[in-house]
Structure formats: C-alpha cells, structure tokens
Amino acid sequence: MDIRTIDWNEAWQDIKTRPLESTQAADYWDHRAADFSQVSSTSPYVEQFMQLLSVQPDWRILDVGCASGTLALPLASRVRQVTGLDISSAMLDGLQANCRQQGINNIRTVHASWSDDWATAGIDRHEVAIASRSLVVDDLRAAIEKLIRFATRRVYLSTPVADGPLDRNLFEAIGRPFRCGADYIYVYNLLYQMGLHASLNFITYREDKSYSDRETIFHSLRNKIGHLLPAEEKALQSYIDRVYVRREGHWRRAAPRLIRWAVMGWEIPGQNDSV
C-alpha cells in the first residue's frame, strides 16, 4: 500500500476515540482547571518546548488551548503579546490569576473553541500560532488550516507519542478499556500530504509530579477519568497504594513513567494578508 494514497484525516477520525469522549467539552476542562493552576516554567515539557521556538521580541503569539498558561506565561517575557485561547473559562480564570500574581500585562485571553469563529471573537493574525497538547478535534485538517490562517510566519503543534501522558495501567486497574487515540504519526503524515514540510522533534521526560497526600492523588486521577462507580473507586485506591510512595513529605510514583510528545513546526506558505 502506498501511504501517500491514505486519507490521513479520515484515518485520524477513525482512530481518534479517546478514553473520555467528553474531552471536547468545556465542563471537562473546567473540572480539571485546578490541576493546571500551578504552572511551572521549570517543567521538562516547557523547557524543551521553549528551546524549539524561534520567536522574536516584537512578535505576537496565538496559544490555542492555553490552559492556565503552561506556555503563555513563559512566552510573555520573550514576545510583544500572547493571546491565550481556551474552551474552558476556568482555565482562563487561572491564567488571569497567574498573570496578576506575576505582574504580567501582555497576555490577552479569549474564551473560544476550535469550532468557533476566531475572527468574530476578535482574533487577528499573529506571527506564530501554537497548539500545544490541544488537538482535541474531530477534523484535523480543518484545525491545521485554521492555525495557518491565523499565523503569518510559523505554526507549532505538539501531539502524543504512543500513549503520551495517559496511563494505560491506570485504566486497566479500574477495568476501563484503554483507547489512546491517534498519535503524532497521523498528524505528521497529514502535514506531508498537505504539502507542509514540518520539522519533527521529540520531547521526552520522566513524570515526576508530587502530591501533598493520597486524597489529592485520588482526586487528580479521578478528574482525568471522570465519574467512577463505587467498585472503580475502590480499584483506584488500590492502584494508588501499589504505584505511589511517600518520600520526604510528598507522594510520587515509585517508578516515574516515561512520557513523549512530538513537536512539529513549519513556515507559513504564501503568507496571504487576509484571514
């Protein structure tokens, strides 16, 4: 089979099923906003992603799916302006709170989704558009084309490699089917099919998140999964007992998982003036 003849957008749609169908809903991300409120510029993901960007001080950055400022906050000191777009109002509230706390005044927030009309929402073209770990979309080609329309120089996006941040053993432990969906190779092949010659780099790190107590671990993991039946809650507690240990006053995984993300970036072809 010649892979150039495969409709990679259709292939993405066929396999994109997530462990949680609700990940496209604002309520899901509103519920998880507390987990994103503490943004660390020293996280391995942020450090490695920032090294891959070639931004200029006078540029504006459009950060699609900005959450509470994972990239928007560290970018603010390097560029003229950042526009943070997110479907979750709670995430944007967290970003605004972080801006106030850090004295940042060049981040603008926009409450919108991938399917909304961004121009109507007041967004114009930025030098760079970023979709970092936020391609939770039905139509991948349309999302890529939209990023291109709202950027004048470059687009960057990141997607999981294999299971990415999802814990296969967690879902197996509570008896839920594990469906991680399409990973980066679908995206990269579609970019090639669209005539976009994207660079490809990988971010790799060990998960080392710490928790103050077991209850915090439980709530964090439950937020990722969604509603649990009583038997599933019991299985989740047993999973925490097996996997997490208390060291120096904090709880961490006894054996940190290896997580990989693929980062793809490309120059905007044509650089048309109109959106």
Q: How many CA atoms lie within 13 A of 74 on its CB side?
A: 16
What is the three-state SS of the chain?
CCHHHCCHHHHHHHHCCCCCHHHHCHHHHHHHHHHHCCCCCCCHHHHHHHHHCCCCCCCEEEEECCCCCCCHHHHHCCCCEEEEEECCHHHHHHHHHHHHHHCCCCEEEEECCCCCCCCCCCCCCEEEEEEECCCCCCCHHHHHHHHHHCEEEEEEEEEECCCCCCCHHHHHHCCCCCCCCCCHHHHHHHHHHCCCCCEEEEEEEECCCCECCHHHHHHHHHHHHCCCCHHHHHHHHHHHHHHEEEECCEEEECCCCEEEEEEEEEECCCCCCCC
Q: What percent of the chain has pLDDT over 70?
A: 88
Reported as a single tens digit per residue, the pLDDT across 76-91 is 999 999 999 999 999 9
CA distance 82 to 179: 34
Predicted confidence at residue 248, as pLDDT, reads: 87
Please indicate whether residue 29 or residue 145 has the higher confidence score (pLDDT). 145
Domains parsed from the chain with CATH numbers: 3-165+177-208+258-267 (3.40.50.150)
Residue 20 scores a pLDDT above 50: no
Mean pLDDT for 136-164 is 95
- 62-79 pLDDT, tens per residue? 999 999 999 999 999 999
pLDDT greater at residue 108 or residue 28: 108
pLDDT at res. 215: 92
Nearest residue to 68 (alpha-carbon basis) of 42, 32, 43, 44: 32
How far apart (Å, rounded) are the C-alpha atoms in residues 63 and 99? 15
Between residues 47 and 207, the one the model is more confident about? 47
Residue 19 and residue 90 in contact, taking contact as beta carbons nearer than 8 Å: no
- Asked if 264 contacts 187 with a C-beta cutoff of 8 angstroms, the reply is yes
Around Cβ 256, how many Cβ atoms within 10 Å? 12
**Given this model, what pLDDT does residue 233 score?**
93
Residue 64 identity (one-letter amino acid): V
How does pLDDT run across 229-244, given as a tens digit for each residue? 999 999 999 999 999 9
Mean pLDDT (the chain) is 89
Pairing of strands 258-267, 126-132: unpaired
Q: Residue 21 — very low, low, confident or very high, per pLDDT cuts 50/70/90? A: very low
Q: How far is CA 114 from the centre of its chain?
A: 13
Among 60, 104, 103, 57, which Cα is nearest to 85's?
A: 60
One-letter amino acid for residue 46 of the chain: V
